[in-house]
Chains A and B, each alone.
Chain A
Amino acid sequence: MVGILSYGAYVPIWRIDRSVIAQIAGTGSMGGERSLAARDEDSLTMAVEAGVDCLAGLDPKEIDGLYFATASSPFKQKLGSSIIASALDMRKDVCTFDFNSSVRAGTSAVKAALDAVKAGSAKKVLVIASDHRVGRPGSQYEQMFGDAAAALLIGDNGAICEENGFATVSNPIPGPWQTETDTYLRTFEPKLDRLSGVLGDMPTAVNEVLGKAGLTSSDISKFALAGPDPRSYRDLARTLKFDPKTQMEDPLFSSVGVTGTSHALLLLVSALEKAAPGDKIVCVSHGEGSDAFLFTATPEIETAKREHRGTKYVASKKMVPSYGRFADWQGTRDTGWPPRDMSSSVVTFWREERWAFPFYGMKCNNCGTIQYPLGRSCINCRATDNFEEVRIASKGKVFTFAHDYIYDHGLIPGDGVTPGTRVVSDMEDGCRIWLEMVDCEQEAVEIDMPIELTFRLLHDKGGYRFYGWRARPVRG
C-alpha cells in the first residue's frame, strides 16, 4: 500500500495585516493577514523546517530520496535538495532532485515519489515543497502571497493514507511567468489564465481522478484545493459541485496566503490532521495545468497526529510592526544594509558541512562532554583526537544572552536598527553553545528561557548563501 507515511509543515512566525500593505500600495486590502519569511529565511530554510517536522521521531538515514519543489529557489543554479538532505542528516546516497519552474512542482514531486516507491527504486522518499515568492510592491501578489513549506514522506509500509488515484493536465496557459531576468512574477491577463487554465484544468483533473475511482464529489470528505487566488475557490466549488463549507479544506488565505508550490501539500497536511480512517481526500494543484490525487486515510492516521506540528505553525504567529520591516525582509527596499561586498570563504563552509548543515558536534570519549564545533581537542578535559561525532540536541534553554546593537556579521536577525540577540544556550544533551536568536522580541528573552534550533540563512557575503542553525523561542 503506497501512500503517505508522515507529514510536516512550516509557516514562518511572522504575519503582516494586508491592510498595512494596502495602505502603502494605495489599494484596497484583500483582508486578513499573510505569512512572511524573516530576513534570514527563504524557500530552502523553510523546507528544512518542514522536513524536520515531518521526520520527527523518524530516522533520516532510512530515507532514499529527497525531492524539493519550489518556484522560488534562492539559487538559479544549485541543488537545494542536496543542502536540505544534509541539514536533515540524510545518507550521502540519497536521491536528491529539485522540481522547479511552476507552482505545480509540489504535486509533481509527490507523483514522482509515489512512482519511485511503486517501481521499487525507493522505499521512502521525502517530498518537500516550499515557496518564498516576493510580489512586486503595489501588485496584488504582494498581498496575496504567503510563505510556507509542507513535507510528505512517501512510502509503502505503514501509510497513514494511501494513494488511490492520480490525474494530470498539461496546458501552457499564458501566465503568470517570470523570465530568467525578471525580479518579480508577471501576468498579462489573469482572467484569461483563470478561465482557460485553472477553472478548466483543475476540474478536469479532479473529475478524471474521481471518475477512475468510480466516485463523485459527494463521496469526498475534503478537497485540498490550491487555487491561484481567493476567488478561484468559490468558482471551483461551484464547478465541482461540492459544499465549500463542509467539503473544502480552508485554503488558509486569510491567515497565510497563496503559498505557491507548498500550497496544495499544506492544505493536504491540514486535511490529514483532521482526517479519520476511511476519509477520502482530493488534493489538487494548478500551474500550467493541474495535478489531482485521491487519498484515503488509513487507521494509522491516528498515530501520526501526535508527532507533528503541521498547521499549528499557522496559529503560532507574531505581527511585523510595519510595512518597512516587511519590505526589508522581502528585499524590496534597499537599505544599504548589511554590506554585501564582504567576501567569505566558501571553501571553509564546504569543509565544515557537518557543523553547518546536520549540526554535528563532538562527544569526548574521555569525559563525555558534548561540545560544538567539531575540533581536535576537548574544551573540557583537553583530550585530543578522542571523540565521536554527534548531532547536537535541537532543544535547550538560555544560560545568558546579549542584545547587540553594533555587531554585523553580515545578516543578523534584526533589521540593522533593532539589535541582534545572541544566547549562550544549554542544550538538552548538555552541549553549551552560542547561538543567534531569532523570531523573538528583545523583552521576551530571559535566562532559563526554553529555545529550539531553527535552520536559517546565516549571511550572504560574497554573493554566496551560507546556511546554518539559529535559536528561536519554542513555537507552540
Chain B
Amino acid sequence: MRASDAALIEGILRRDEAALATLYDRYARMLSSTLNRILRDTQAAEEILQDIFFQLWRAPSQFDASRGTLPGWLLIIARNRAISRLRRHNPAAGEALFETTVVLPVNIESALAREQLLGRVKSAMEKLPVEQRATIELAYFEGLTHSEIARRTGDPLGTVKTRLRSAVETLRRDLQP
C-alpha cells in the first residue's frame, strides 16, 4: 500500500531514511526535469535536487501540510533555486518560500496521476499558439518579467502582456481538475 506524503513526512520527522528515499523516488524525476529545463546543466541540476531533499531531511517541520501540498512546495522551491542560480541571485531567497501557501489542483502522489498530469500539461501547452507558448516558457523556465521578455524577444511590452495573459487564461481553463 502506498504511503501518503504526509505519512512520509512523519517518517522523516522520526529520522526514517526509507521515508525520505520513498519521497525522493516519488518526486525526483519531476524536479530533475524542471531543474534541467531551467539550468540546462546536469551537474547543477543534480546539486540542487540533492540539496532540496537534504533540506527536507534536516528541517521537515518547515513543511506545513496546512499550507499546501508537498509536491507543490518542492516544485516552487526547485524553480526558485534554479532561477536564482541561473540569474546569479542569492539562493537563500528561495527559503522564504517555505512560508508561502501552495495548493496543487490535483493529487499527484501516485505515479499514474503524475503521468496523467504530464500528458495534460503537455497537451495544454501544445494547444497554445507558438508565441504564447514561447512567452509563458520564458516566464516560467527563465523567470523573466513582462518587460524582460519584451527586451529579450524585441516584441512590444503590450504584446507580451497580452500573450502571457491569454496563455494563462487558456491554461487556467485547460488545467482545471
Chains A and B are bound partners: no
> Interface on A for B, CB 8 Å cutoff?
none
